[in-house]
Amino acid sequence: MKAITAEKISFGYTQALIFEEFFLAIESGEFLGIIGPNGSGKSTLLRLLAGVRKPQRGVVKVMEKELNQLSRREIARTIAFVPQESFFAFEWTVQEVVMMGRNPYLKLLERPGAEDLKKAAEAMRLTGVQMLAGQNINSISAGEKQRVLLARALAQEPEILLLDEATAHLDLVHQVTILQILKTLNNQGKTIVLVSHDLNEAAFCSRLLLLAKGKPVACDVPEKVLTPDLIHAAYGLEPVVTKHPFTGRPQVLLPPV
């Protein structure tokens, strides 16, 4: 089964289109990485797949149903979207932020029940933020905040998890923690789509989509995408590509400056 398909979608914030007749199919249980230079449309594509933005033409299907046919609540029960960073205008506690992930399951005026509290607690345990439950969201570190947002996404019990630069600005420890969580989730059968500007991080994905100016340059296993030629085609510079000594996955080194 296909988790998400984008069929001939065209989209632009203005008259100028970023995507034209774009096609993408993501298999259920896949761990897809979307990479490309700044402004290549990675984040926009993710938003189109999440249904946060609507394409001007073409359709996006989730679990083989058109997004337009589904209500926001139905979409939110299937897809969770983790934004890059969140500004919180008000002083929410971590617990309150994670509980918002239960919104798609709550009816008007329905208060969160024991089941919802359990799901939220489970999500916080999985991401290691249960100790922060009572803390003010604006008082915790960036790495903790990112894990809280991931916990909120998990509280949605989604089939598909879309992450926009989930590890940007994070130190090595936090980056690895988050990648481990994602790996675990992927092993449990969740479909994961990760937008990243870190090519070495993207190398952990099972498949990579390399974008440049809204066009796919390549879409294949990391070994076939992270090659000097393709990276040059997308980024316009020739890096050194080597192999990870333990995993054997390609690793991209900066060219000499």
The footprint of other proteins on residues 152-171 (CB under 8 A) is 152, 156
Least Å distance, CB 47 to other proteins, is 7
First to last CA, the chain: 46
Find the binder of other proteins among 41, 55, 83, 222 (CB under 8 A).
Answer: 83
Q: Is 250 left (phi over 0), alpha (psi -120 to 50) or beta?
A: beta
The footprint of other proteins on residues 4-23 (CB under 8 A) is 13-14
Does 100 engage in binding with other proteins (CB under 8 A)?
yes
Does 72 engage in binding with other proteins (CB under 8 A)?
yes
Span from 33-41, 60-68, 100-108, 204-212 in contact with other proteins (CB under 8 A): 100-108
Beta pairing, strands 79-82 & 160-164: parallel
CA distance 80 to 237: 34
Does 190 engage in binding with other proteins (CB under 8 A)?
no
Cα–Cα nearest to 100, from 151, 36, 27: 151
Does 187 engage in binding with other proteins (CB under 8 A)?
no
For residue 25, the number of C-alpha atoms closer than 13 Å in the C-beta half-sphere is 4
Interior/surface letters 113-147, b for 16+ CB within 10 angstroms, e for the rest: eeebeebbbebbebbebbebbebebeebeebbbbb
The footprint of other proteins on residues 196-225 (CB under 8 A) is none
Query: In a 3-state reduction of DSSP, which class is residue 233?
Result: helix
Q: Nearer to other proteins by C-beta: 23 or 88?
A: 88
Least Å distance, CB 127 to other proteins, is 17
Does 88 engage in binding with other proteins (CB under 8 A)?
yes
The token duo for 150 is 């991931």
Span from 77-85, 192-200, 226-234, 245-253 in contact with other proteins (CB under 8 A): 77-85
Find the binder of other proteins among 33, 36, 41, 101 (CB under 8 A).
Answer: 101
What is the amino acid identity at position 110?
Answer: E
Q: Which residue ranges make up the site for other proteins (CB under 8 A)?
A: 13-14, 47, 50-52, 71-77, 79-81, 83, 86-93, 96-97, 100-101, 103-104, 106, 108-109, 152, 156
